[in-house]
Amino acid sequence: MRTVSWIAIVIVSAVAGAALWVHLPVSAQEESYTAPRTADGAPDLNGIWQALNTAHYDIQAHPARPALAIIPASPRSDTPGLVRATHVELPAPVVRPFGAVGGVPAGAGVVEGDEIPYQPWALAKKKENADHWLERDPEIKCFMPGVPRATYMPYPFQILQGTDKILIAYEFAGATRTIHMNTVGDSPSPTWMGWSRGRWDGNTLVVEVTDFNEDTWFDRAGNFHSDALHVIERYTPVSPHHLMYEVTIEDPKVFTRPWKMRMPLYRRFDRDAQIREYKCVEFVEQLMYGHLGVVDPATGTINK
Amino acid sequence: MQHRSFVLLGAVAIGGAIAVPACYAPPSANAPSTTIGRTAWGDPDLQGVWRYEGAIPLERPGQLGDRATLTEQEVAQRQALEKEQAEKRLEGYEGAAVGRRSVGESPIRGNEYNSFWQDHGRPRQISNRTSLIVDPPDGKLPFTADAKKAEARSAARYGVGPFESYLDPDTGERCLTDGVTGMMWQGPNGGHNRIVQSPGYVTILHEEYRDRRVIPVDARSHGSIRQWFGDAIGRWEGDTLVVDTTNFVDRTNYEWANIWTRPSESLHLVERFKRVDATTIEYTITVEDPTTFARPWTAVIPITKLPDDTQIYEYACHEGNYAMPNLLGGGRTDAARTSSR
């Protein structure tokens, strides 16, 4: 009996604790937790981290849907009682064989207020991007994912804190960012992963990222930016096993005002957790170049 | 991309020639050094941007026979030649026009091919050593007979074709990698490597192909997953970082026997990073690969620390690989011509 009541107490406290965790304002949590320090005295963010959400599909709130690429169902016949059936989306033919594996789970989104303040032309372009997702999403071609998209893709990344540089090693496409914690000159050119300058603000690693090209996206829903993108990231340890990731997006060419995203990042504990190779260049060569050669390696077809 | 070549580069900055002193002396015992910097947690500090800036070729040129070192006079001649060539490069001359007349004078080989990709400027460091390879004593790669033939077949095909599909160019042209073994001392666009240390890890970021190795330094045992860069495990032996790598994967459609471009699955690579002074790491590789080499071989490579403000820039090779469609288009044009003859 004693054991049972102990378990009950533990469960009740855990549930209450979890509830408290969820409902406390995050700023209070941030204040209540002090991250361990590295030997240099900086907050210790070293580790392998990963987002666990659906922002990689769509950073805004979205219902579940049957596939990443969808087509509308054909109009119903005039059968009485059926013509007003709810609009239905179907998987596009090219992704249909994936069945339930290819579905998109619902998510509450990570955008503050769930509104991305696009300029009117840009909102139209976002919708067009979504409609042409298969042809346009740079992730499909294994291009470097940009920032902040790299953070919440469904792959882990590792923070490696050196003396005056912090590296973030992303698994996807083997992309790496160097965050300069010392003073450096300007980037000589626009880049895919940006030019990152970091500083400490209490427990928080603040990174200003500039010098982007206009070729990366925010998600698989067609959300995009221009080469005027300016990203401010905040990585705050909120428990030994969580970072709170907050990011401010500024891009006066595309948006009417700055906007924010926020999500927890989770420490990977798995046995022998490490960043593996995901050299997807070789995974997309067939897609990008298969039809261009004398021989198509997938079919053995001789192209004329 | 088309520019891949085993080429050593000039430098970003311009400086004077610095002779690497004396002949190679074997590494001394691993006694902790008090003269090198240390990280806040006490490991030898290897951080910074590093590159091989020497002019020592990997293999000893044939005309030097069994000589492990050059005479003082020969060193002086080479220093003068290097200075002259560096000045010509600064004036805009390229390739053969620079005056580097033979493969033997190149640090690796083919220094004339596509030399416009190189960042010219600083003369290479001249040393009296005749080869980076210190074992076997003849300074030559101990290829097996089969490997030698395969290497010859690949050399004949490289840059020539046929290019029938995207699998036919080599891994560099496909923007995949030029491999781990040469990462610290080769590279067409500078061979720059940034080393960053954090507790339990040494990470090397190589500019070309944005190659990156996150090396756990905890003497864990090798796993079972094969990767292009293998499975690297580090440990400290005194002040020397020893990195042991196995589990390479070979998915190239090329027969290169040089294991830096085409890591054979039987390759066992042991690297030693020993910081010998403020600006030098003595980098030693021992290569064991029974399918390619008749015996293990060892090369000792002096790696130079570049100025603190040297950056590794983004290398978006795949993202801008216009060469691949053009190469395949050229292959189809060639095939059409051949069939219409």
pLDDT of B57-107, one tens digit each?
A: 899 998 998 899 999 999 999 888 888 777 766 665 555 444 444 434 444
What is the C-alpha separation between B167 and B249, in angstroms, rounded?
A: 16
A23 CB contacts (<8 Å, ≥6 apart)? none
Q: How far does CA B282 lie from the centroid of its chain?
A: 14
Instruction: Say whether pLDDT at B51 is over 50.
Output: yes
Nearest alpha-carbon partner for B6 in B163, B202, B170, B149: B170
Q: Where are the alpha helices (DSSP H) in chain A?
A: 2-23, 26-32, 120-131, 133-136, 281-289
Give chain A positions within 8 Å (CB) of B227: 276-277
Instruction: Say whether pLDDT at A247 is over 80.
Output: yes
CB contact under 8 A, B225 and A276: yes
Better-scored residue on pLDDT, B23 or A74: A74
Give chain B positions within 8 Å (CB) of A165: 47, 194, 196
Domain boundaries, chain B: 48-55+134-340
Q: How far does CA B113 lie from the centroid of its chain?
A: 16
> How many Cβ pairs closer than 8 A exist between chain A and B?
129
**Is the peptide bond preceding residue B142 cis, with omega within 30 degrees of 0?**
no
CB contact under 8 A, A160 and B251: no
Q: How far is B262 from chain A (nearest CA, A)?
A: 15
Averaged pLDDT for residues B212-227: 94
User: How far from B36 is each of A42, B19, B235, B279, CA to CA, in Å?
Assistant: 23, 21, 18, 10
* pTM score, whole prediction: 0.87
Give chain A positions within 8 Å (CB) of B220: 272
For residue B311, the chain A residue with the least C-alpha distance is A184
B42: tokens are: 């006490």
Give chain A positions within 8 Å (CB) of B40: 38-40, 163
B25 CB contacts (<8 Å, ≥6 apart)? none
Averaged pLDDT for residues B137-163: 88
B13: tokens are: 């900055």
DSSP H/E element including A233: strand A230-239
**Which of the 8 DSSP states describes residue A276?**
P
Give chain B positions within 8 Å (CB) of A301: none
Pairing of strands B48-51, B133-135: unpaired
What is the C-alpha separation between B259 and B297, in angstroms, rounded?
A: 12
Instruction: Say whether pLDDT at B234 is over 90.
Output: yes
Q: Does ipTM come in above 0.85?
A: yes
What is the C-alpha separation between A243 and A33, in angstroms, rounded?
A: 11
For residue B314, the chain A residue with the least C-alpha distance is A191
What is the C-alpha separation between B234 and B221, in angstroms, rounded?
A: 10
pLDDT of B166-185, one tens digit each?
A: 999 988 889 999 889 988 98
| pLDDT at residue B258, rounded to an integer | 64
Exposure string of A247-272, with b = 16+ CB inside 10 Å and e = fewer, is bbbebeebbeeebebebbbbbbeeee
Q: How far is B42 from chain A (nearest CA, A)?
A: 9
**Residue among A165, A167, A295 whose CB faces B164 most closely:** A295
**Which of the 8 DSSP states describes residue A173?**
G
B231 CB contacts (<8 Å, ≥6 apart)? B222, B223, B225, B245, B246, B247
pLDDT of A189-241, one tens digit each?
A: 999 999 999 999 999 999 999 999 999 999 999 999 999 999 999 999 999 99
Mutate: best of A270, A279, A287, A296, partner B, most B CBs <10 A: A279
What is the C-alpha separation between A289 and B276, in angstroms, rounded?
A: 47
CB contact under 8 A, B318 and A185: no
Q: What is the mean pLDDT of chain A?
A: 90
Nearest alpha-carbon partner for B232 in B249, B246, B212, B219: B246
Averaged pLDDT for residues B226-253: 94
What is the C-alpha separation between A232 and A41, in angstroms, rounded?
A: 23
Residue A161 identity: Q
User: Which residue segments constitute the domains of chain A, with CATH numbers given?
Assistant: 35-63+109-289 (2.40.128.20), 65-103 (no CATH)
pLDDT of A13-64, one tens digit each?
A: 444 444 444 444 456 655 689 999 999 999 999 999 999 999 999 999 999 9
Label residue A83 by pLDDT band (50, 70, 90): low
Instruction: Name the one residue in this structure whose structure tokens are 């990195």.
Output: B243
pLDDT of A110-168, one tens digit each?
A: 999 999 999 999 999 999 999 999 999 999 999 999 999 999 999 999 999 999 999 99
Is residue A261 a contact partner of residue A247, using CB atoms and an 8 Å limit? yes
What is the C-alpha separation between B133 and A31, in angstroms, rounded?
A: 57
Is residue B261 a contact partner of residue B170, using CB atoms and an 8 Å limit? yes
Is residue B337 a contact partner of residue B329, using CB atoms and an 8 Å limit? no
Half-sphere exposure of residue A8: CA atoms within 13 angstroms, side-chain side: 5
Give chain B positions within 8 Å (CB) of A192: 314, 316, 319
Q: How far is A187 from chain B (nearest CA, A)?
A: 8
Phi/psi of residue A201, nearest 5 degrees: -125, 90
Instruction: Say whether pLDDT at A8 is over 90.
Output: no
Lowest mean pLDDT among A37-46, B10-19, B43-52, B199-208: B10-19
Nearest alpha-carbon partner for A215 in A224, A204, A228: A224
Give chain B positions within 8 Å (CB) of A185: 309, 311
**Residue among A166, A274, A282 whose CB faces B216 most closely:** A274
A214: tokens are: 């206009």
Instruction: Say whether pLDDT at B22 is over 50.
Output: no
B199: tokens are: 């507790």
CB contact under 8 A, B41 and A39: yes
Q: Which pairs from A131-134 meet CB under 8 Å and 24+ separation?
A: A131/A222, A133/A68, A133/A69, A133/A220, A133/A221, A133/A222, A134/A68, A134/A69, A134/A92, A134/A94
CB contact under 8 A, A292 and B318: no
